[in-house]
Copies of this chain bind each other. A is one copy, B any other.
Amino acid sequence: MADIRPERVLSDLRTLAQFGAYKSGVHRPTLSEPDIAARRWFAGRLCAAGLDASIDGIANILGKSPAPGRKVLAGSHLESQNYAGWLDGPLGCVYALEAARAIAEDHATRHLGVDVAVFCDEEAHFGSFLGSRSFIGLVEESAIDGAVNPATGMSMREALKVPGWSGRPRFMIDPTRYAAFFEAHIEQGDALESLGLKIGVVTAIVAIWQYRLTVTGEQNHAGTTSMARRRDAGRELVRLLAAIDARFPAICGPRTVWTTGRIDLDPGAKSIIPGRAEALFQLRDADPAVLDRLDRELNALVERAHAQGVCQLALERISASTPALMDERLQAALAHAAEARAPGKHTRLPSGAGHDAQWLARKLPAAMMFVPSIGGISHHWTENTSDADIALGAQVFTDAIVDVLQG
C-alpha cells in the first residue's frame, strides 16, 4: 500500500521552513543564501532516500530512481515569493520525496520508480518558469546570461556562481523514461475549504490573457477646462473599466477571473486633466471558448467607447497562453485515490495560478493535485494547511502514483 509517514512529511516541511524563516512563513528568493542551503539540504534528503540526486547548471535538482522500467516524475519548486508562505512549492517537493520513499519502502511497490524534480525559479525572481522550461529544452544559454533579479540587481549567472553551479550541464527531460508527471500544490484559493473538501484534482491550468488598455485624450488645466470640453483620458478609462465590470459577470464562465492590476494617469498631478491613461487588464480561464467570448466583448466595449469620439481607446493583447490540460487518466487516478482515502471529499477544478506542470504537460501526461489552503491565503507568510490535510494529501498523491505505475 506504500503508506506514507506523516511525521516525516511534516518534519521535512518544517525543516525546509527554517531556511529563510520569516514569521510563520519564509523569505527565500531564488538562489539567495537560504535558497542555496535549502537546495543542498533537499538534494541530501533525496540521496538519503536512495535516489541519485544532483543539481544542474540552472539550479534544478533531479533525484533519479534506481528502479527499472518507466517511472513517474514528480516535484515542484523550493524557492518562495518574498516574505511568503512555507508550503507554496515545498509541499509538492516533499510529497514527491515522500512518494519515492514510501514506494521504495514497501515490498509490494519497491520495484516502481519515482524520480523527484525541483524546478528552479518558478516564483520568477529571475525570469518566467526558467527551471521547468529549461528541463523541457526551452531555455537557451543566452536567456540565462540575460536573466537578472530586478530586486537585487544580481544576474542569474553571478547567483549561480556562488554555490558553484554555473557552467554545469543542465538536465533535459527524457520523455521515454517517464509515464507521467505529478505535481502537488496548495490550492492558494478557498474553493476546497469553502466546500469542506480535502483534495482537488486539477483539470487544467488556466490560460492567462494579458491586455494593455490605452486611452489618449487631451491634457489640460483642471480649473479652466469645462466638463463639456474635456477629453479626460482618466475618466474614459474609469468608465470603460466600470463597464467591463458590469458586463462580464453575465457572460463569464463559473471560474473566470479578471483583474486590473495597474492604472496610470499621465501626468498624474492633482490639477491636470490626464491626457493619457493606461491599465493592465488580465483574464484567466481554462476554457478557450470563454476566453474568446470575453475577448470579443472586451474589444466591443473598447470600440464603443472609442466610437464616442471623446478619447482614442486602444486595446493591445500583450500575451495569450493556452490552457494546459491535465491528463484524463491521471485525473482519474487522483480522484480514485482521493475517494478511497477521503470519500466524497474531493472535486475537480482548474488551477487559476500557473505551475511548472503546465510546461511538463508539453512533454508528458501531467497531473496536479491540490490540498486546502486555510482561508484561501497564499503569497503571504500566514499561508497554511492543517497537518491532517497535509498528511492526507501525501497519501493520496502516493496512491495515485502507485496506481499509474502499476498501469
Chain A residues in contact with chain B, CB under 8 A?
Answer: 187-191, 206, 208, 210, 219-227, 229, 232, 234-235, 238-239, 241-242, 245, 249, 252, 255-265, 268-274, 280, 282, 284, 351-354, 376, 378-380
Contacts and interface: CB of A to CB of B under 8 A. Distances in A.
Contact of A242 (B239, B263, B273, B376): B239
A285 to B, nearest CB: 10
Contacts of A252: 227
A400 to B, nearest CB: 22
Nearest to A81: B221
B352 A257 contact: no
A380 B227 CA distance: 19
Contacts of A223: 188, 206, 208, 257, 284, 351-354
26 contacts: A187-B224, A188-B221, A208-B223, A208-B271, A220-B376, A221-B378, A222-B259, A222-B284, A223-B257, A224-B351, A224-B378, A225-B257, A225-B376, A227-B249, A229-B376, A238-B238, A238-B260, A239-B242, A242-B242, A260-B265, A260-B274, A261-B273, A262-B269, A263-B264, A270-B282, A272-B379
Of A249, A259, A268, most B-chain CB atoms within 10 Å: A259
A303 B344 CA distance: 44
Nearest to A350: B223
Contacts of A225: 189, 257, 352, 376
Nearest to A319: B270
B274 A261 contact: yes
Contact of A353 (B187, B188, B224): B224
B259 A271 contact: yes
A261 B221 contact: no
A257 B222 CA distance: 7
Nearest to A378: B221
Contact of A234 (B189, B263, B272): B263
A262 B268 contact: yes
Contacts of A220: 376, 379
Nearest to A261: B270
Contact of A270 (B210, B272, B274, B378): B210
Nearest to A190: B229
Given A189-B226, A224-B189, A270-B280, A259 B239 contact: no
Of A222, A252, A268, A282, most B-chain CB atoms within 10 Å: A222
Contacts of A256: 227
Contacts of A270: 210, 259, 261-262, 280, 282
Contacts of A219: 380
A232 B208 CA distance: 19
Contact of A263 (B263, B282, B354, B376): B263
A184 to B, nearest CB: 15
A133 B340 CA distance: 81
Q: Which 5 A-B pairs have the closest CB atoms?
A: A223-B352, A242-B242, A189-B224, A188-B224, A222-B259
Nearest to A244: B238
Contacts of A272: 259, 261, 379
Given A263-B234, A263-B265, A284-B222, A257 B227 contact: yes
A206 B268 CA distance: 22
Given A259-B271, A262-B265, A270-B280, A376 B235 contact: no
A343 B271 CA distance: 35
B224 A376 contact: yes
A356 B223 CA distance: 15
